[in-house]
């Protein structure tokens, strides 16, 4: 039995989709399916009901999932503790998050943590939503920082992966300024002339939130996609250069709003308030990980 088989199974138990799980594990679907079969053969039971769509876990699969999570986390935790004893790489506390949060929120937040805990050794991985969840579930990262909004819930068991609110954020529409410091590309509901729109890539989490904002409007705007990009920094620069309007996290553009190089493109109803949450596995970790979580629990944002 191989550790990778357990990680494959945990990925599948979260996605319930062989194709998507194989993609997340960077495997071909036949290879991924064969590894799941190898695990089932080793256990002597069927873990996944392949006769349903989406796939579902059998009773044995649901029972084994908890054991698999505990085993994977225990192995990563012990590796971390062993390397800490040897002065190795695992003395780093590992975080996974979206690129936007890594750039606009994490540096200041980490400074606040260190003000209370002392200097920390941290490692950051930036990934897509699905890869962030995979990193957390597999135990590759100690903590996950992610946006939270009821319209786009994460498929994480809140009992196995508790979370705390560590910050607030707003997604706001912005444009380069035009005459009189009004938006060069205003956001208008029910307009007849298309407005140039700089969009996050379709697979991103923020796109789902923007779609929620637009769907809630009585008169949807007429937007013409001129550019698509997964990175907030790139969209910010494109917007400042006047290529169109976009939605950006407010914390990522505070300086630009104050300087006037970006202005609001629409009223408050075109914005969306959301939380920034820190997630971890319920499995206990090394002392430093528990010390960080204890502080986060004490200072959680209401």
Q: How far apart are CA 215 and CA 265, in angstroms?
A: 17
Question: Cβ distance 36 to 60 under 8 Å?
Answer: no
Span 162-179, pLDDT tens digits: 999 999 999 999 999 998
**Highest-confidence segment of 86-90, 207-211, 286-290:** 207-211
- Count CB-CB contacts under 10 A for residue 120: 14
Tokens, residue 292: 């960080």
Question: Cβ distance 113 to 292 under 8 Å?
Answer: yes
Record the pTM.
Answer: 0.71
pLDDT of 288 above 80: no
Task: Please state, rounded to an integer, the average pLDDT across all residues of the chain.
Answer: 87
Tokens, residue 35: 């590894």
Question: Cβ distance 55 to 92 under 8 Å?
Answer: no
pLDDT of 236 above 60: yes
In the chain, the largest separation of any two C-alpha atoms, in whole Å, equals 73
> In order of start, what are the domains of the chain with their CATH numbers?
3-71 (1.10.10.10), 79-163+278-298 (3.40.190.10), 169-274 (3.40.190.10)
pLDDT score at 219: 87
Could you identify the residue written with the tokens 């225990």? 74
pLDDT of 89 above 60: no
- Count CB-CB contacts under 10 A for residue 163: 20
Span 101-157, pLDDT tens digits: 998 899 999 999 998 888 888 999 998 888 888 888 878 888 999 999 998 888 788
- Count CB-CB contacts under 10 A for residue 117: 13
pLDDT of 57 above 70: yes
**195-200 vs 223-229, strand pairing mode:** parallel
Q: How far apart are CA 8 and CA 39, in angstroms?
A: 9
């Amino acid at each position: 039995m191989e550790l990778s088989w357990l990680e494959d199974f945990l990925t599948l138990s979260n996605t319930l989709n062989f194709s998507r799980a194989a993609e997340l594990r960077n495997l071909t679907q036949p290879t991924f399916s064969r590894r799941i079969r190898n695990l089932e053969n080793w256990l002597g039971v069927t873990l996944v009901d392949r006769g349903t769509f989406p796939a579902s876990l059998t009773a044995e699969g649901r029972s084994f999932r908890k054991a698999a999570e505990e085993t994977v986390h225990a192995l990563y935790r012990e590796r971390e503790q062993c390397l800490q004893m040897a002065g190795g790489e695992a003395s780093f506390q590992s975080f996974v998050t979206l690129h936007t949060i890594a750039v606009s929120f994490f540096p200041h937040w980490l400074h606040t943590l260190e003000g209370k805990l002392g200097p920390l050794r941290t490692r950051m991985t930036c990934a897509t939503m699905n890869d962030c969840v995979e990193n957390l579930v597999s135990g590759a990262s100690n903590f996950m920082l992610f946006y939270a909004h009821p319209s786009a819930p994460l498929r994480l068991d809140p009992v196995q992966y508790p979370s705390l609110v560590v910050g607030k954020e707003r997604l706001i529409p912005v444009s380069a300024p035009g005459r009189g410091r009004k938006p060069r590309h205003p956001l208008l509901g029910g307009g007849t002339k298309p407005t140039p729109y700089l969009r996050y890539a379709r697979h991103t989490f923020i796109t789902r939130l923007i779609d929620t904002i637009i769907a809630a409007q009585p008169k949807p705007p007429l937007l013409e996609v001129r550019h698509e990009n997964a990175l907030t920094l790139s969209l910010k620069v494109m917007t400042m250069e006047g290529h169109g309007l976009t939605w950006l996290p407010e914390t990522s553009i505070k300086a630009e709003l104050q300087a006037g190089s970006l202005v609001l493109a629409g009223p408050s109803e075109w914005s969306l308030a959301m939380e920034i949450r820190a997630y971890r596995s319920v499995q206990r970790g090394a002392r430093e990980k528990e010390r960080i979580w204890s502080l986060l629990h004490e200072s959680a944002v209401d």
